[in-house]
Amino acid sequence: APLKLIYFDIPGKAEAIRLCASVGKVDFEDVRISRERFAEMKEQGALPYGQVPALDVGAGRMLAQSSAILRYVATLGGLHPSDPLEAARIDSIMSEEEDFFSGITISRYSARFGYGHMSEEFRAEVRKNLNDEILPKHLRFLEGLLADSKTGWLAGTEKPSAADFVFVPRLRWLVSGANDGIDGNLLDGYPKIKELIAKLMALPAVVEWYAKNPPPQ
């Protein structure tokens, strides 16, 4: 039986996994649940850590945490290197993605992180700091990685790696207008990042995926 990837009907934290599985030709069922179904599954204790995405691998086993699922799917699809140092380099870039987006995540889901009292004024101030200082610093790191890459992929791999799959959908979402206070032109000064996004989105398996699964409007 194919793997079952469980998430909401949005790109979110599952999009990297969906794209990686498509490119790696990993057979999976894309299970998109309602908020009500999510609440039921959480109540039943079906989700480790009470979160999605989750990957049902069969025999009653459920894998949680998006980065772990992504590495597993990349490994199954022949997109995660067996060399320990190469794998660690990809892991480090995936950890950078978590650092990159932590401020956005906390300001977006403040109550989840103990900041339920965050005022709109303070949130706007945080977003301005992120837009003007914090995110450009991280974008410079990424642009530097790509300047050093001979292949156009973040870790310099021959094929796209988990690092590329996690960053591209998140960067597209960052400047999509979904995040108040974040400039839609934020990526304009980073040509290699824009090339990376175009390169991944042009992969035949990715084009085919979006033709069959257009993102919800």
Six-digit token pair at 91? 């892991």
The pTM score is 0.95
Six-digit token pair at 132? 């003007």
Q: Give every residue of the chain whose pLDDT is below 50, as ranges.
A: none
Q: Is the dihedral of CA 181, 187, 188, 194 positive or negative?
A: negative
Per-residue pLDDT at 217? 59
Q: Which residues pair with 5 in a beta bridge?
A: 30, 55
Per-residue pLDDT at 112? 87
Contact 90, 20 (CB under 8 A): no
84-108 helix and 66-76 helix, angle to the nearest 10 degrees: 150
| Buried/exposed 18-53: b ≥16 CB within 10 Å, e otherwise | bbbbbbbebebebbebeeeebeebeeeeebeeeebb
Per-residue pLDDT at 41? 95
Per-residue pLDDT at 216? 67
**pLDDT one-digit tens code per residue, 123-167:** 999 999 999 999 999 999 999 999 999 999 999 999 999 999 999
Contact 153, 160 (CB under 8 A): yes
Distance CA 14, CA 20 (A): 10
Six-digit token pair at 158? 């021959």
Six-digit token pair at 200? 């991944």
Per-residue pLDDT at 101? 96
Neighbours of 10 (CB within 10 A): 12
